[in-house]
């Protein structure tokens, strides 16, 4: 067993064990596959089925406008992320970005927040997959909702997603791309046929914002924002991407704009389609199926229901892949057990990190089910914790972007303006999650998130006290060269 010091493209130099594998594949993924990583983590096909009805319950006829604002907000946040992704390519994603802007301690906060975000997203969408699978089964005449069935389906969904993530990132992204492309085409086709059958796309209630008030629209914007979390996950691919400093920034922006347009169109169509229908959109279990049935396309609705279930499955896959690569980088820097920085000798996947992220995500999903929470209640709880992780990471990268540019002598006034706007929008969104104070258990979820975050930060602070020499090496690696691609080397 030999130990070598292997410099990487970033200037990182970490002592590594040659038995840990040869590292992640370089120049491996094409642009569509890079986009698929972000698309899969967003799970846009699932939003019309589960999230848009919730946004409608708050924003009503302003649902489409909430998604317009959310798209613009996330686009501005994406520009801050791309300040780094155009210059740095790393599986550490926002963790490394924030470190280069604000230093190691704040970088660690961002890294653990992002890891919490991905793990709890995976956990939530395990249950989202179960819920939509059961809904599809109901539509074809199969009834199954016992706790044992939910637990079994949760395990099956995670194991299949784990296998894809363990096996190959290219296979994962291609599966994701196929699922999302097919389902989104069906969703858009349903909306188009609905309006063609209706004879007009005009809906005065929506374009005139009938009965929509500012406070309701603000709360709807907060919920719409949640539909996009994970849009940045292409950044975790680092040099696994071909031309990473070109493809990854494009993937971030493409994901926001493309998915945003789909959300705007589908929300407008769903709200228009449910005028005068009882139960309303906010009470419907399968709104896209109802919309398809309105013009005699019930079979399309059933296909969409199957696609939505697969979309949530793709989100499990995307979240595990993203979380594993953040954990892989944290491990490289001594902030997690050394084994998590191993890569598979044959598949070049971070297989230990993939397994850890998958197991932890499954444990939380199973725990809430066993504790008696309904599937959608548990989905909401886990998804809310995940959202806090993303909001913290996005906020820190937004603050770090102008600092990073100033250090490089590249700061311009518009960088400051866009960062300030992005930060204001993120703060508004964060405040909307805690005020007015939500009911139990959502009122304690910010503190639950802080506990998970504190665990990782405490380890870093303990390292500072107990192993200052090791910490000095880590900090030197983290703040080394940002001028060229960054990726830990084996």
The region of weakest confidence among 74-78, 161-165, 225-229 is: 225-229
Q: pLDDT category, 267, cuts 50, 70, 90?
A: very high
Structural contact between residues 123 and 364, judged by C-beta atoms closer than 8 angstroms: yes
Q: pLDDT category, 461, cuts 50, 70, 90?
A: confident
| Residue 259, phi then psi, degrees to nearest 5 | -70, -40
Q: pLDDT category, 63, cuts 50, 70, 90?
A: very high
Dihedral, CA of residue 423, residue 425, residue 428 and residue 432, to nearest 10 = -120
Q: What is the pLDDT of residues 90-106, one digit of tens each?
A: 898 899 999 999 988 89
**How high is the pLDDT of residue 232?**
96
Taking 90 as the threshold, does the pLDDT of residue 472 lie above it? Answer: no
Mean pLDDT on 368-372:
97
- The closest alpha carbon to 152, from 335, 365, 5, belongs to 365
Give the Cα separation of 37 and 41 in Å (integer).
6
Query: What is the SS3 assignment for 334?
Result: coil
Give the Cα separation of 66 and 216 in Å (integer).
10
Question: What would the two tokens of residue 399 be?
Answer: 């603050």
**How high is the pLDDT of residue 488?**
45
**How high is the pLDDT of residue 466?**
81
Question: What would the two tokens of residue 431 be?
Answer: 């405040």
Question: What would the two tokens of residue 3 be?
Answer: 């130990």
Question: What would the two tokens of residue 227 be?
Answer: 């539909």
Taking 80 as the threshold, does the pLDDT of residue 120 lie above it? Answer: yes
Other CB atoms within 10 Å distance of the CB of residue 362: 21
- Average pLDDT, rounded, for the chain: 90
Q: pLDDT category, 435, cuts 50, 70, 90?
A: confident
The percent of residues in the chain predicted with pLDDT above 90, rounded, is 74
**How high is the pLDDT of residue 130?**
96
Q: Which helix (H) or strand (E) holds 149?
A: helix 147-167
Identify any residues that bridge with 3 across adjacent strands, giving them in sequence order.
17
Give the Cα separation of 77 and 96 in Å (integer).
17
Taking 90 as the threshold, does the pLDDT of residue 85 lie above it? Answer: yes
Question: What would the two tokens of residue 432 be?
Answer: 């909307």
**How high is the pLDDT of residue 479?**
59
Other CB atoms within 10 Å distance of the CB of residue 175: 19
The percent of residues in the chain predicted with pLDDT above 70, rounded, is 92
pTM of the model: 0.92
**How high is the pLDDT of residue 7?**
30
Number of H helices, E strands in the chain: 17, 2
Q: pLDDT category, 138, cuts 50, 70, 90?
A: confident
**How high is the pLDDT of residue 21?**
60
Taking 50 as the threshold, does the pLDDT of residue 483 lie above it? Answer: no
Cα-based distances in Å from 44 to 38, 380, 439, 465: 10, 17, 28, 44
Give the count of alpha carbons within 13 A of 288, CB side only.
Answer: 36
- The closest alpha carbon to 91, from 163, 37, 166, belongs to 37
Give the Cα separation of 384 and 236 in Å (integer).
22
Handedness of CA 269, 273, 276, 277 (dihedral sign): negative
Q: What is the pLDDT of residues 311-341, one digit of tens each?
A: 999 999 999 999 999 999 999 888 888 899 9
Q: pLDDT category, 23, cuts 50, 70, 90?
A: confident
Terminal-residue alpha carbon distance, the chain: 14
> Where does residue 30 rank: exposed (0-12), middle (13-18), buried (19+ CB within 10 A)?
middle
Q: pLDDT category, 10, cuts 50, 70, 90?
A: very low
Taking 60 as the threshold, does the pLDDT of residue 158 lie above it? Answer: yes
| Residue 233, phi then psi, degrees to nearest 5 | -70, -15
Q: pLDDT category, 478, cuts 50, 70, 90?
A: low
Taking 80 as the threshold, does the pLDDT of residue 308 lie above it? Answer: yes
Mean pLDDT on 234-242:
96
Helices 214-226 and 413-434, packing angle to 10 deg: 100
**How high is the pLDDT of residue 22?**
65
- Residues in CB range of 163: below 8 A, 6 or more apart: none
């Amino acid at each position: 067993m030999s130990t070598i010091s292997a410099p990487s493209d970033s200037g990182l130099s970490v002592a590594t064990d040659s038995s840990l594998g040869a590292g992640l594949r370089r120049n491996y993924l094409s642009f569509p596959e890079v986009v698929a990583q972000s698309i899969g983590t967003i799970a846009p096909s699932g939003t019309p089925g589960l999230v848009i009805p919730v946004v409608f319950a708050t924003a009503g006829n302003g649902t489409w406008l909430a998604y317009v604002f959310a798209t613009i907000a996330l686009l501005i946040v994406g520009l801050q992320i791309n300040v780094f992704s155009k210059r740095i390519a790393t599986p550490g994603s926002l963790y490394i970005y924030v470190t280069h802007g604000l230093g190691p301690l704040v970088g660690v906060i961002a890294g653990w927040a992002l890891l919490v975000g991905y793990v709890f997203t995976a956990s939530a969408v395990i249950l989202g997959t179960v819920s939509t699978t059961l809904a599809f089964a109901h539509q074809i005449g199969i009834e199954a909702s016992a706790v044992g069935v939910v637990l079994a389906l949760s395990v099956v969904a995670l194991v299949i997603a784990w296998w894809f993530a363990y096996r190959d990132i290219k296979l994962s992204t291609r599966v994701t791309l196929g699922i999302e492309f097919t389902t989104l085409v069906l969703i858009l086709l349903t909306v188009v046929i609905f309006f063609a059958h209706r004879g007009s796309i005009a809906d005065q209630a929506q374009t005139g914002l009938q009965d929509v008030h500012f406070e309701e629209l603000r709360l709807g914007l907060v919920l719409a924002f949640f539909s996009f979390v994970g849009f940045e996950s292409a950044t975790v691919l680092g040099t696994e991407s071909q031309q990473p400093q070109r493809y990854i920034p494009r993937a971030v922006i493409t994901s926001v704009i493309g998915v945003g347009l789909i959300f705007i169109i589908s929300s407008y169509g769903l709200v228009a389609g449910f005028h005068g229908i009882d139960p309303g959109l906010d009470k419907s279990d399968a709104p896209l199926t109802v919309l398809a049935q309105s013009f005699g396309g019930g079979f399309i609705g059933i296909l969409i229901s199957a696609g939505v279930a697969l979309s949530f499955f793709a989100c499990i896959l995307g979240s595990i892949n993203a979380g594993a690569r953040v954990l892989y980088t944290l491990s490289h820097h001594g902030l997690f057990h050394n084994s998590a920085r191993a890569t598979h000798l044959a598949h070049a996947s971070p297989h230990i990190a993939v397994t850890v992220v998958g197991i932890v995500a499954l444990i939380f999903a199973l725990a809430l089910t066993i504790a008696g929470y309904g599937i959608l209640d548990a989905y909401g709880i886990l998804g809310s914790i995940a959202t806090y992780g993303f909001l913290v990471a996005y906020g820190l990268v937004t603050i770090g972007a102008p600092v990073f540019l100033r250090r490089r002598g590249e700061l311009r006034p518009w960088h400051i303006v866009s960062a300030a706007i992005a930060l204001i929008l993120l703060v508004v969104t964060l405040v909307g999650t805690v005020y007015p104070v939500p009911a139990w258990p959502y009122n304690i979820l910010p503190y639950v998130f802080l506990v998970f975050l504190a665990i990782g930060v405490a380890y870093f602070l303990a390292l500072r006290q107990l192993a200052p020499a090791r910490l000095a090496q880590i900090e030197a690696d983290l703040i080394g060269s940002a001028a060229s691609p960054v990726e830990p080397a084996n």
